[in-house]
Structure 1
Amino acid sequence: MKKLYFSFVALITFLENLLCAFGIIFATTFTVIQIVNRYWLHFEIMWISDLVLYVFVFAAIISIAITTREDAHTAVDVFIERIFRGKKASKMSKILINFASLGIIWLIIPIFYAYFLRALKFDEWGTLVPWFNTSWLVEAIFIMFVLCVFHIIHNTVLHMIDLYRLFGGGGEE
């Protein structure tokens, strides 16, 4: 069961990395194409700009889940490392921050869930590209929240196991 769970985590990690990398590479490539079209060929293709914007926003949304997965909040980490010295205090502070993060997400996720259901039910069409459904942006944000909850719970459990080992396993501070 443990191997299956960590295989699932590895699959999510792979998919998040793949989607984010694809989004950045795609957005960069098609932005260059659009620049060449607009300024050298004097032929702008309007829907490319919209598509690049949507793909870039999607990559940015996925990057939020990746940041949560990596437990990497630079500003918070620098502050915590200055206040809490030692492995035990650091692990305890990360656990408390993760519980606070889960509490905040728990308070706001019903709002995003309502928007998610609305986005599934009613289509929102693009302005410059009338055939392009933009409801997926709201759906992607909700999925990002779900991924963040998963990663926070996963990281918290790993920190608790490490903290248990530090206290009970004879780990050194």
Structure 2
Amino acid sequence: MRYVLIAGMFLLSLILPGTLFHFWSWSGIKPDLLMLLTIYIAMHHRLLGSAIWGLGAGLFEDFYLGRNVGMYTLTLVVVAILSNWLAERWYRENFLLTTFMVFLVTAVGQILVSFLSLGAGLHWSLSDIGRLVIGVSLYNAILVPLTYPWIHQSFVRGWLRYRPRYER
């Protein structure tokens, strides 16, 4: 059941920004739900598992979007490693601290996406990059109080909790 839920959340995080959040965008800014899911998973897994999740999710998103293959792969691996590193040093039960961490890690990820996009030939101004980084980071941080309590409890005590083979 754990893997089915993770796969469902993964698919929703790819589909919802183009459908539901298209209507809830602020000046064209939508949340990066796959980055948010990567942060949550990296906070509750070990470093290698987090990096592998970021690699797989990034590759899938690159192929899903169909342009600039490798951009989201690199970004989500960096986001997963940074989230895991910060989660080891910060208290995961504190939702205010988690909100700040999501804002910070999303900002790093969006800056990386922006500069990789510039390297791929997109012509963005610095004001556009700043608006994108701040907007997506704020949007993801606003979603933390709505989503993180349920996901955290599920990773700790619920269906997303890892159970060793002998427990199953």
TM-score (normalised: structure 1): 0.30
TM-score (normalised: structure 2): 0.30
Looking at CA atoms only, which structure, 1 or 2, has the larger radius of gyration?
Answer: 1
Structure with the larger helix share: 1
